[in-house]
Amino acid sequence: MRWGIVGPGGIAGQFARAVAEMPEGQVVAVSSRSIVRARAFAEQHGIARAYEGVEDFVADDGIDAVYVATPHSRHEADVLAAVGAGKHVLCEKAFALDAVQAERMVAAARGAGVFLMEAMWARFLPAYRTLRSLLDEGAIGEPLMVEADFGFRAPVDPHHRLFDLGQGGGALLDLGIYPVQLCAFVLGLPERVVADGVVGETGVDETMAALLHHAGGRLGVAKASLRTPLSCTARISGTAGWIDLPAFMHCPATLTLHRMSGVETIDASFAGEGLRFEIEEVQRCVAEGATESSIMPLDETVALMRVLDTIREHLGVVFAGGRGRP
């Protein structure tokens, strides 16, 4: 697959390194707001073509799929541009600013008949695949509770995308999405959501905690912070035991299974770049003619955005151009 990258920042570099590890893929083009930065990234990663802006980039016939690695506020525009040009798309998490944008992006991809997926790389890692098998075989009985958190202390910088409301900053969209999607991965979508948090001077949620009420009296507890170092772990408790995901809960190298019969640590380590696994999924799906992944389906992505919207309403965070508290 011939990939093009839009947004040559931090995660884009990891993506380029991951594709370089894979025989079936190649990054052939990169787009930046600045041709200087596009060329520098292209040179660093051995990419043939550099573009300023997305218009000429998406018109490049040599690109099969676009990886959208811009800030959350740009995801909708970049995805719509790529999909409109008939490209398959892998779009970074959180997928959009809100569910309204996410619905438009999904409708456009379905209308164009191209592949689209939220880059929820955690779900494709060996740890999450093992977790799915353990849950399916009833290793901990019926799962009843998921507790997960992801947080670190970053300096408040109003210009950094994490603290910039205009770029869709905040703990929830950047970090909270991981605990929230884990709750959905294990328990399904929640029926009710309550949340509270701390909104900082720049208007973004710096710390948040949400309680997700799932059918059958099952609960998810999700926390995230840009100002408080959290354990970055997860625990999934069931009727017959529990599974611990050590730090970092979105990409752990082991799982620990606790049961009456004893404690077992399961290796889930991998070599190389972790983004490789989601890229393999995109390439496999496209090769098979599928327009979405069953592991990170588009309806779930949109539903997760609705959960994030509800949490944001509780927090009182409103994005410019996005939907906030009604």
Q: How many residues are present in the chain?
A: 326
Strand ranges across the sheet with 254-259: 192-199, 205-214, 218-225, 143-151, 234-238, 241-245, 254-259, 262-267
Closest among 99, 178, 98 to 146, alpha carbons compared: 178
Least Å distance, CB 70 to ligand NAP, is 4
3-state helix, strand, coil in the chain (%, to 5): 35, 25, 35
Q: Which stretch binds ligand NAP (CB under 6 A): 6-14, 138-146, 264-272, 304-312?
A: 6-14
Q: Which of the residues 72, 75, 87, 93 is marked catalytic?
A: 93
312 binds ligand NAP (CB under 6 A): no
Least Å distance, CB 107 to ligand NAP, is 21
Return phi, psi of residue 275, to 5°: -70, -15
Q: Is 223 a catalytic residue?
A: no
Least Å distance, CB 118 to ligand NAP, is 10
* Binders of ligand NAP in range 161-190 (CB under 6 A): 161, 167, 174
Q: Which is nearer to ligand NAP, 35 or 240 (CB)?
A: 35
Closest among 123, 48, 82, 45 to 293, alpha carbons compared: 123
* Binders of ligand NAP in range 121-160 (CB under 6 A): 121
45 binds ligand NAP (CB under 6 A): no
Q: Which own/partner pairs from 303-307 qualify as long-range (CB within 8 Å, at least 24 positions apart)?
A: 303/184, 303/189, 304/95, 304/177, 304/180, 304/181, 304/184, 304/189, 305/94, 305/95, 305/96, 305/98, 305/99, 305/101, 305/102, 306/99, 307/180, 307/184, 307/189, 307/190, 307/193, 307/212
Give CA–CA dist 90/104, Å, rounded.
15
> Which of 33, 132, 235, 323 touches ligand NAP (CB under 6 A)?
33
269 binds ligand NAP (CB under 6 A): no
17 binds ligand NAP (CB under 6 A): no
Q: Which is nearer to ligand NAP, 134 or 308 (CB)?
A: 308
Amino acid at 294: S
Closest residue to bound ligand NAP by CB:
9
Which residues does residue 222 pair with via DSSP β-bridges, in sequence order?
148, 210
Binding track over 66-105 against ligand NAP, x by CB under 6 A:
---xxxx-x-----------------xx------------
44 binds ligand NAP (CB under 6 A): no
Q: Which is nearer to ligand NAP, 94 or 255 (CB)?
A: 94
32 binds ligand NAP (CB under 6 A): yes
Binding site for ligand NAP (CB under 6 A): 7-12, 32-34, 37, 69-72, 74, 92-93, 119, 121, 161, 167, 174
What are the residue numbers of the active site?
93
